[in-house]
Amino acid sequence: MILSLDEKITREQQKQLMERLEWMGLHAVLLEDQGKPGIAIVQGGDALVDFSQFKALPFVEKVAAFTHPYKLASRQVKPQKTVISVKGKTIGGEELAIMAGPCSIESEEQIFSSARIVASQGATFLRGGAFKPRTSPYAFQGMGEAGLQLLQKAGATYGLVTISEVMDASQIDLVANYSDLLQIGARNMQNFSLLKQLGRVKNPVMLKRGLSATYQDLLMSAEYILNAGNPHVILCERGIRTYETYTRNTLDLAAVPILQELSHLPVIIDPSHGVGIRRFVTPMARAAVAAGADGIMVEVHPEPTKAFSDADQTLSPEEFTVLMQTLREIAPVLKRRV
How far apart are the C-alpha atoms of 181 and 227, rounded to whole Å? 18
Residue 103 interacting with Mn ion (CB under 5 A) = yes
Among 41, 103, 111, 323, binds ligand PEP (CB under 6 A): 103
Are 99 and 296 in contact, with CB atoms under 8 Å apart?
Answer: yes
Least distance (Å) between residue 187 CB and ligand PEP: 6
Are 120 and 95 in contact by the 8 Å Cβ rule? The answer is no
C-beta neighbour count of 89 within 10 angstroms: 17
Closer to Mn ion by Cβ: residue 63 or 288: 288
140 binds ligand PEP per the rule CB under 6 A: no
**181 - beta bridge partners?**
163
Kindly write down the DSSP assignment for every residue of 155-166, as one continuous string: HHHHT-EEEEE-
- How many residues in the shown chain lie near ligand PEP by CB under 6 A? 9
> Shortest Cβ distance from residue 145 to ligand PEP (Å)?
18
Using rule CB under 6 A, residue 273 touches ligand PEP: yes
Looking at 71, 208, 278, 336, which residue binds ligand PEP (CB under 6 A)? 208
Comparing CB distances to ligand PEP, the nearer of 2 and 111 is 111
Examine residue 186 and tell whether it contacts ligand PEP (CB under 6 A): yes
Give the strand order in the sheet containing 38-43. 27-31, 38-43, 2-5, 60-64
Return the number of the residue (78 or 301) whose C-beta is nearest ligand PEP. Answer: 301
Alpha-carbon separation of residue 206 from 169, 195, 217, 225, 310 (angstroms) = 15, 11, 15, 10, 20
Residue type, 304: P
Select the span of 109-117, 140-148, 185-193, 330-338 touching ligand PEP (CB under 6 A).
185-193
Instruction: Name the residue nearer to ligand PEP (CB basis): 186 or 262.
Output: 186
Residue 314 Cβ vs Mn ion, minimum distance, rounded to whole Å: 8
Phi and psi, residue 327, nearest 5°: -65, -35
> 90-119 as b/e, with b when 16 or more CB fall inside 10 Å?
bbbbebbbbbbbbbbbbeeebbbbbbbbbb
Answer with the entry of ligand PEP, Mn ion, none that 186 interacts with (C-beta below 5 to 8 A by kind).
ligand PEP
Q: Which of 232, 295, 287, 241 is nearest to 269 (CA)?
A: 295
Nearest to 280 by CA among 244, 310, 319: 319
Q: Is 133 in the site for ligand PEP (CB under 6 A)?
A: yes
Closest to 187 measured CA to CA, from 262, 256, 273: 273
Chain positions 212 to 271 lying near ligand PEP, rule: CB under 6 A, are 238
Number of H helices, E strands in the chain: 12, 14
> Stretches 150-158, 184-192, 287-295, 320-328: which one binds ligand PEP (CB under 6 A)?
184-192
Site membership for Mn ion, residue 310 (CB under 5 A): yes
Q: Cα separation of 109 and 106, whole Å? A: 8
Nearest approach in angstroms of CB 294 to Mn ion is 20
Q: Which of 93, 185, 204, 271 binds ligand PEP (CB under 6 A)?
A: 185
User: Nearer to ligand PEP by C-beta: 39 or 181?
Assistant: 181
Fill in the DSSP letter of residue 209: P
The Cα–Cα gap between 157 and 146 comes to: 17
Least distance to Mn ion, CB of residue 301, Å: 10
Instruction: For ligand PEP, give the closer residue by CB, 264 or 301.
Output: 301
Tell me the residue number closest to ligand PEP, measured at CB: 185
Q: Which residues bind ligand PEP (CB under 6 A)?
A: 103, 129, 133, 185-187, 208, 238, 273
Residues that bind Mn ion (CB under 5 A): 103, 310
